[in-house]
Amino acid sequence: MTQIMRTSKHDRILLAHGGGGQLMDDLIRQHILPGLKNDALNELGDSAKLDLTSGSVCFTTDSYVVKPLFFNGGDIGKLAVCGTVNDLAVAGSKPVALTLSFIIEDGFEIELLDKILASIGETADRIGVNIVTGDTKTVEAGAADRIFINTAGIGIRLPGVELGFEKIVIGDKIIINGTIGDHGMTIISQREEIKFQSQLKSDCAPLADLTCELLANTSGIKFMRDPTRGGLAATLNEIARSTTLSVEIRENDIPIRPAVLAAADMLGFDVLTIANEGKFIVVVSPESADDCLSISRNHPLGKEAKIIGEIVETRDAPLVEIETRIGGKRIVQMPYGRELPRIC
Amino acid sequence: MLDRINKAQSDINAACEAIGRQINIMEVCGTHTVSIFRNGIRSILPKNLKLLSGPGCPVCVTDQGYIDVVLQLADRDDCIISTYGDMIRVPGKEGSLETKQAKANVKVVLSSEDALQLARDNPGRTVVFVAVGFETTTPATAVVVKEAAAEAVNNFCILSGHKLVVPAMRTLLSEKNDNINAFLCPGHVSAIIGYGAFAEIVEEFSRPCVVAGFEPVQIIEGLCEICRQLSAGKAELKSMYSAVVTEKGNIAAQKIIDECFEPVDGYWRGVGKIPQSTLKLKDKYGQFDAFERFGISEKPSEEIKGCRCGEVLCGLIEPPECGLFGRSCTPQEPIGPCMVSSEGACAAWFKYGRDK
């Protein structure tokens, strides 16, 4: 009994919180469950039982190690929900259930855990997706950096939707739902060693509502992808590599906030390679491009949607080329991925 | 803006056609290099106009021997190394600061002030500031040296690797590459030293020197001015960046540099020894000179087998002509300095792709 009383007074995570005993049970019932309540989770079984309406599902997983844990526009909890939901969304499915697992360093403040959990609950609610099962592990101080989260998710594939690189053909248009680089530049600007004042805000947002609306109301969508790590440059290069077609984009048409551009210039980053957490590109047939654009622009997460380029024929080797502001051309390379560690 | 670009572009075309032969223009500023690549400027220039990326990136020109000294200090438990982020990955003879970072006595700072603050916060250890860069960063180093002296922050010192641009241009023309027809001069450096500093290059070597800003339109107009001069058989000094650069430059900044530093012969990566090209702290600030404090000196670096960074920096070859480029030397695992810094010619070439 004394044990339980002490638990509720702990303001930091102890190794014993992951030990499977009373402390852990207490942590789950007092801190984790309240914000996430749903039938499947409340059973606290070893597995969640789900009754799905469709035989075809999408299934994905992702881990979140972002630093700092809280940033302008979001936090690791919101990111852990949005990131996995967005992977399901761009695959052409409607997200229905998530798992939630924590790895927490000994000494982590429970108050912060509560804040992260509240954010997870709120984001999941907003999307209409349930957290159905989870796990908590604790590790010695130094064995993890404060808190890491893993989420896995299941989405029901939308009927009749077939997306894939193989659908992409020459002439298809590339649409993005808004400005690029916001998330990555926000994170880097809030890192301890940089800390410059800015109005940057992460674009971290759940995209499933908009992707489902697009897929339900237009035909001609060939492929969708959220340009997270590696940014737009990585996503477009993946398209070129996988299709052996080439991609041409126009710098003037790519939406970028001036503050993001200024910060990237100052720090020597190419915005095209900077991570996004609330953006996706759509590769769509030219006939459906305008529909896609107007549906997006009527949605809060697609107000600044734009056609940024096309799929073109490959001359020597598949590549991504950008027409610069001055009408020059250069190649957009696959970023080599060392510039920004731990952005998501 | 596009009107101005189109106008300059057609003037460049006309001038280059009139000249007929190949023209080599060198930029000696990493920011110019990156802007030229990022904006695809080469792709809109006539074929006989070649842009060469010279020794304009401070990271690239920092000698391996200097890095070895830094690494040696990083091994000492009584030292904290404070450095600008882009120096972290520059390879020395054995490893880079990145490999030492795990020891936690290597701190990335954004300004020299941050380095001095580290010293104030860690009175029990000696904070060594890795002071590199051209005339643009030197005044900021001088300021903290003076502050440290005034406040007697005696556990602070700097390892000066500061470089001067004009002596390098002089050495390039007189010893390394006679085929450089003109210089596009750096905007930031000129804001400090004044565009008048390039007069000696124009007079002695009869090469046009034109200062330009970093926006693509400014670079193209700078190139246009150079082409106009070359087609008229002239070599003149001109600043196209009058909003920022004056003939005499920033006198206050020059004064503080003079007060703290004196030029000595120095090693440049890939180029070798250049007379009067490196800044050393004057004797009166000797106690803040890390070389003196630790009794160490820079040894000239050994050549890296197969690496042609020296020829790249001198404008003798383009990065893809080096056998290591893109094969064993990539931004992930750089061998030569020009691949390390994002402003290096090889890294820019690798990142922004081949020119059309």
Q: Which residues of A215-245 are buried (b: 16+ CB within 10 A; e: fewer)?
A: beebebbbbbbbbbbbbbbbbbbbbbeebeb
Tell me which DSSP letter residue B174 carries: I
Please check whether residue B192 lies inside any domain of the structure.
Answer: yes
Do both A131 and A261 map to the same domain? no
Distance CA A10, CA B24 (A): 70
Nearest-by-Cβ selection for B354 from A194, A326, A331: A331
The H or E element spanning position B108 is strand B106-108
Domain boundary among A157, A181, A216: A157
Tokens of residue B222, six digits? 């700078």
Q: Which residues pair with A149 in a beta bridge?
A: A64, A102
Residues 6+ apart with CB under 8 A from A317: none
The pLDDT, as a whole number, for residue B344 is 87
The answer to whether residues A134 and A184 touch, using CB atoms and an 8 Å cutoff, is no
Do both B299 and B318 map to the same domain? no
Do both A58 and A184 map to the same domain? no
Tell if the CB–CB gap between A322 and B40 is shorter than 8 Å.
yes
Please check whether residue B29 lies inside any domain of the structure.
Answer: yes
Please state the rounded mean pLDDT for residues A3-17.
68
Tell me which DSSP letter residue B302 carries: P
Please check whether residue B250 lies inside any domain of the structure.
Answer: yes
Alpha carbon of B201: minimum distance to chain A alpha carbons (Å): 30
User: Using one digit for the tens of pLDDT, what is the confidence trace for B101-112?
Assistant: 666 688 888 889
Please check whether residue A340 lies inside any domain of the structure.
Answer: no
User: Using one digit for the tens of pLDDT, what is the confidence trace for A161-196?
Assistant: 999 999 999 999 999 999 999 999 999 888 755 556
Please check whether residue B125 lies inside any domain of the structure.
Answer: yes
Range of the domain at B326: 309-348
Do both B59 and B140 map to the same domain? yes
Chain B residues with CB-CB distance to A340 below 8 A: none
Is A28 exposed, middle or buried (CB count within 10 Å of its CB: 0-12, 13-18, 19+)? middle
* A336 in reach of chain B (CB within 8 A): yes
Three-state DSSP string of chain A: CHHHHHHHHCCECCHHHHCCCHHHHHHHHHHHHHHHCCHHHHCCCCCCCCCCCCCCEEEEEEEECCCCCEECCEEHHHHHHHHHHHHHHHCCEEEEEEEEEEEEECCCEHHHHHHHHHHHHHHHHHHCCEEEEEEEEEECCCCCCCEEEEEEEEEEECCCCCCCHHHCCCCCEEEECCCCCHHHHHHHHHCCCCCCCCCCCCCCCCCHHHHHHHHHHCCCEEEEECCCCCHHHHHHHHHHHHHCCEEEEEHHHCCCCHHHHHHHHHHCCCHHHCCCCCCCEEEECHHHHHHHHHHHHCCCCCCCCEEEEEEECCCCCCCEEEECCCCCEEEECCCCCCCCCCCC
Q: How many domains does the structure of chain B reveal? A: 2
Tell if the CB–CB gap between A330 and B37 is shorter than 8 Å.
yes
Tell if the CB–CB gap between B41 and A328 is shorter than 8 Å.
yes
Nearest-by-Cβ selection for B39 from A326, A332, A338: A326
Please check whether residue A337 lies inside any domain of the structure.
Answer: no
The pLDDT, as a whole number, for residue A227 is 97
Please check whether residue A149 lies inside any domain of the structure.
Answer: yes
Do both B304 and B318 map to the same domain? no
Please check whether residue A339 lies inside any domain of the structure.
Answer: no
Alpha carbon of B35: minimum distance to chain A alpha carbons (Å): 10
CA dihedral A175, A180, A184, A188 (to 10 degrees): 170
Q: How many domains does the structure of chain A reveal? A: 2
* A338 in reach of chain B (CB within 8 A): yes
Domain boundary among A123, A157, A191: A157
Chain A residues with CB-CB distance to B342 below 8 A: 268
Over 70: is that where the pLDDT of A223 sits? yes
Do both A141 and A173 map to the same domain? no
Q: Strand A70-71 vs strand A74-75: parallel, antiparallel, or unpaired?
A: antiparallel
Do both A82 and A143 map to the same domain? yes
Chain A residues with CB-CB distance to B354 below 8 A: 331
Do both B159 and B232 map to the same domain? yes
* A256 in reach of chain B (CB within 8 A): no
Do both B222 and B337 map to the same domain? no
Distance CA B202, CA B205 (A): 6
Please check whether residue B189 lies inside any domain of the structure.
Answer: yes
Over 50: is that where the pLDDT of A101 sits? yes
Residue A7 pLDDT level (bands cut at 50, 70, 90): very low
Please check whether residue B355 lies inside any domain of the structure.
Answer: no
Range of the domain at A182: 165-332
Distance CA B265, CA B311 (A): 21
Distance CA A249, CA A319 (A): 11
Do both A147 and A189 map to the same domain? no
Please check whether residue A83 lies inside any domain of the structure.
Answer: yes
Please check whether residue A214 lies inside any domain of the structure.
Answer: yes
Q: Give A99 or B61, the one with higher predicted confidence.
A: A99
Tokens of residue B138, six digits? 């030197």
Q: Does the ipTM surpass 0.85?
A: no
Alpha carbon of A192: minimum distance to chain B alpha carbons (Å): 10
The pLDDT, as a whole number, for residue A4 is 37
The answer to whether residues A36 and A98 touch, using CB atoms and an 8 Å cutoff, is no
Task: Please report, rounded to a whole number, the percentage of residues in chain A having pLDDT higher than 90.
Answer: 74
Over 60: is that where the pLDDT of A5 sits? no
Tell if the CB–CB gap between B38 and A324 is shorter than 8 Å.
yes
Best of B4, B38, B106 to substitute, by most chain A Cβ atoms within 10 angstroms, is B38
Do both B340 and B303 map to the same domain? no
Do both B195 and B324 map to the same domain? no
Do both B251 and B127 map to the same domain? yes
Over 70: is that where the pLDDT of A198 sits? no
Best of A330, A336, A339 to substitute, by most chain B Cβ atoms within 10 angstroms, is A330
Please check whether residue A111 lies inside any domain of the structure.
Answer: yes
Do both B60 and B202 map to the same domain? yes
Alpha carbon of A197: minimum distance to chain B alpha carbons (Å): 14
Please check whether residue A338 lies inside any domain of the structure.
Answer: no
Do both B297 and B322 map to the same domain? no
Do both A169 and A316 map to the same domain? yes
Is A264 exposed, middle or buried (CB count within 10 Å of its CB: 0-12, 13-18, 19+)? buried
Residues of chain B with confidence (pLDDT) below 70: 101-104, 353-356
CATH of the domain at A196: 3.90.650.10
Listed residue (B223, B180, B209, B213) closest to B42, CA to CA: B223
Residue A338 pLDDT level (bands cut at 50, 70, 90): low
Do both B157 and B198 map to the same domain? yes
Do both A69 and A182 map to the same domain? no
Do both B87 and B206 map to the same domain? yes
Contacts of B45-49 spanning 24+ positions with Cβ under 8 A: B45/B12, B45/B16, B45/B223, B46/B12, B46/B13, B46/B16, B46/B17, B48/B16, B48/B19, B48/B20, B48/B21, B48/B22, B48/B23, B49/B12, B49/B16, B49/B22, B49/B23, B49/B25, B49/B223, B49/B227
Over 90: is that where the pLDDT of A3 sits? no
Nearest residue of A to residue B45 by CA position?
A328
